[in-house]
């Protein structure tokens, strides 16, 4: 990863962690990935990072259903009146027609635009509630809806929330009705020229959808590899365009930051984008689901070259390592060693 990309990811994770609150180890875990620093609170929530780690945001399209009962300008003006002049402008692609195989299903789109974002349940169970605000009624627009590989149906909705714009990613069974769609991720920030890559890869492969401006293309790299010369390199494969968006079944990434999408847009050229993961692949290192004893974990971590720092309140520990930039396979091995230390220290 280049310094520019790493800096952008770190800044994004800082923002998300701040929104999520400092009491949950999920937000701290997201920050740790980019810096090779791992903040461990007393409890590990397996798979929760699939909600927090977002790569960069999304550039989304407008649903054709959000015309009633008033026009778009009236709805947005009414919803944002009390926030002016502090409301963030709508995302650039908010007015682009809905894409996906269900783009012409007005009934489905209308129902999805009204579907609640609260109490989401994902493939790994209930999604943590960080107290993020709900969408402003009347501003929801379905920007992508399709039956995708893996016998799933996906829908992406964007809406205003307070002074910002946020999105929700819904999933359900192939051919499912709106009532069967549940939000995997909701109320996550999206603005300006953000683009979105959504990846659900519970096993060795999974479905990847990339939302960017019409006419954009995308390539996917599942890992950062170390060449025989010792250099770190990436191989990218072009994603076919399906119903107006890049979509394909791709290899699952080895770690949170292993997978990388390279988007080429008509206006901004080539841009890096880290996929948002629906869930943690089963092959990833397993962390304890219960509390761990930092005093027991510390010697193990120090033995593998991880520096340990205890907090004043005794809540947990943070760790950092100066191993240099690693390949995805090397980072996976390092993560597994760290996870083993925490599993051994589980209370």
* 3-12, 81-90, 150-159, 215-224: least confident range: 3-12
- Strand 276-277 and strand 196-200: pairing? parallel
Q: CB under 8 Å to 269, separation ≥6 — which residues? A: none
Q: How many residues does the chain have?
A: 347
Which of 277, 299, 332 marks a domain boundary? Answer: 277
Peptide bond into 45 cis (omega under 30): no
20's tokens: 């999520």
Residue 157 lies in a domain: yes
282's tokens: 């089963």
* Count of structural domains, the chain: 2
User: Do both 245 and 119 map to the same domain?
Assistant: yes
* 7-21, 135-149, 223-237: least confident range: 7-21
- How many other β-carbons are positioned within 10 Å of the β-carbon of residue 309? 13
Residue 50 lies in a domain: no
Residue 54 lies in a domain: no
Which of 232, 256, 277 marks a domain boundary? Answer: 277
| Segment 310-317 mean pLDDT | 55
User: Do both 35 and 110 map to the same domain?
Assistant: no
User: Do both 213 and 97 map to the same domain?
Assistant: yes
Ramachandran quadrant class, 244 (left: phi over 0; alpha: psi -120 to 50; beta: rest): left
Q: Following DSSP, what letter does each residue of 174-196 receive, concatenated? A: TT--GGG-EEEEEEEE--TT--E
Determine the pLDDT at residue 302.
Answer: 87
Determine the pLDDT at residue 267.
Answer: 85
Residue 311 lies in a domain: yes
Residue 137 lies in a domain: yes
| Segment 61-72 mean pLDDT | 38
Q: Which residue has the higher pLDDT, 128 or 165?
A: 165
User: Do both 173 and 191 map to the same domain?
Assistant: yes
| Segment 291-302 mean pLDDT | 86
User: Do both 269 and 292 map to the same domain?
Assistant: no
Determine the pLDDT at residue 78.
Answer: 52
Instruction: Please state, rounded to an integer, the average pLDDT across all residues of the chain.
Output: 75
Are the beta carbons of 319 and 308 closer than 8 angstroms? Answer: yes
Residue 154: pLDDT above 70?
yes
- Strand 225-226 and strand 232-233: pairing? antiparallel
User: Do both 86 and 126 map to the same domain?
Assistant: yes
- Tens-digit pLDDT profile for residues 10-25: 434 443 343 333 333 3
User: Do both 326 and 178 map to the same domain?
Assistant: no
Determine the pLDDT at residue 114.
Answer: 93
Q: Taking the model in full, what pTM does it have?
A: 0.71
Q: Classify residue 131 as exposed, middle or buried by CB count within 10 Å of its CB (0-12, 13-18, 19+).
A: exposed
Residue 1: pLDDT above 50?
no
Q: Which residue has the higher pLDDT, 86 or 215?
A: 215
Determine the pLDDT at residue 124.
Answer: 58
Which of 245, 277, 309 marks a domain boundary? Answer: 277
Residue 59 lies in a domain: no
Q: What backbone torsions phi and psi does residue 26 show, to the nearest 5 degrees?
A: -60, -50
Helices (H), the chain: 3-20, 25-35, 49-52, 72-80, 106-113, 294-303, 328-344
Q: Shortest CA distance to 88 belongs to which of 19, 195, 190, 157?
A: 190
Residue 3: pLDDT above 90?
no
Q: 18: domain range?
A: 3-45+285-344
Residue 97 lies in a domain: yes
Determine the pLDDT at residue 146.
Answer: 98
User: Do both 264 and 291 map to the same domain?
Assistant: no
295 falls in which pLDDT band (50, 70, 90)?
Answer: confident
Residue 321 lies in a domain: yes
Distances (CA, A) of 269 to 191, 218, 260, 263, 264: 18, 11, 16, 8, 5
Strand segments, DSSP code E, in the chain are: 37-40, 121-122, 125-126, 141-148, 152-161, 164-173, 182-189, 196-200, 205-211, 217-221, 225-226, 232-233, 237-238, 241-242, 245-251, 260-265, 269-273, 276-277, 307-310, 317-320
Q: Which residue has the higher pLDDT, 88 or 341?
A: 341
- How many Å apart are CA 76 and CA 158, to the nearest integer? 13
Determine the pLDDT at residue 251.
Answer: 95
The rounded Cα 124 to chain-centroid distance in angstroms is: 15
Secondary structure (3-state) at 99: strand
User: Do both 77 and 39 map to the same domain?
Assistant: no
User: Do both 309 and 240 map to the same domain?
Assistant: no
User: Do both 193 and 252 map to the same domain?
Assistant: yes
Ramachandran quadrant class, 100 (left: phi over 0; alpha: psi -120 to 50; beta: rest): left
Determine the pLDDT at residue 262.
Answer: 97
User: Do both 27 and 102 map to the same domain?
Assistant: no
């Amino acid at each position: 990863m280049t310094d520019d990309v790493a800096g952008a990811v770190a800044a994004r994770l800082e923002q998300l962690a701040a929104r999520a609150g400092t009491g949950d180890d999920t937000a701290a875990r997201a920050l740790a990935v980019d810096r090779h620093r791992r903040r461990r609170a007393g409890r590990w929530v397996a798979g929760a990072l699939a909600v927090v780690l977002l790569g960069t945001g999304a550039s989304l399209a407008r649903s054709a259903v959000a015309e009633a009962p008033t026009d778009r300008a009236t709805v947005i003006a009414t919803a944002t009146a009390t926030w002016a002049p502090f409301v963030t402008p709508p995302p650039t692609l908010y007015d682009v027609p809905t894409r996906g195989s269900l783009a012409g299903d007005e009934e489905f789109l209308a129902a999805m635009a009204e579907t609640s974002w609260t109490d989401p349940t994902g493939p790994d169970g209930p999604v943590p509630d960080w107290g993020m605000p709900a969408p402003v009624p009347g501003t929801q627009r379905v920007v992508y809806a399709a039956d995708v590989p893996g016998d799933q149906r996906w829908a992406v909705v964007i809406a205003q929330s307070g002074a910002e714009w946020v999105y929700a990613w819904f999933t359900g069974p192939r051919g499912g009705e709106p009532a069967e769609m549940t939000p995997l991720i909701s109320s996550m920030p999206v603005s300006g020229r953000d683009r979105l890559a959504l990846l659900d890869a519970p096993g060795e492969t999974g479905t990847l959808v990339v939302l960017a401006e019409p006419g954009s293309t995308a390539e996917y790299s599942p890992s950062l590899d170390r060449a025989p010369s010792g250099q770190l390199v990436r191989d990218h494969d072009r994603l076919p365009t399906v119903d107006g968006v890049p979509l394909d079944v791709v290899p699952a990434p080895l770690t949170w930051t292993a997978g990388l999408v390279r988007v080429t847009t008509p206006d901004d050229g080539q841009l890096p984008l880290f996929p948002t993961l629906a869930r943690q692949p089963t092959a990833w290192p397993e962390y304890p689901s219960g509390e761990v004893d930092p005093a027991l974990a510390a010697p193990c971590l120090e033995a593998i070259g991880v520096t340990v720092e205890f907090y004043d309140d005794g809540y947990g520990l943070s760790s950092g390592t100066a191993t240099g930039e690693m390949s995805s396979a090397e980072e996976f091995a390092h993560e597994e060693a760290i996870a083993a230390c925490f599993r051994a220290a589980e209370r």
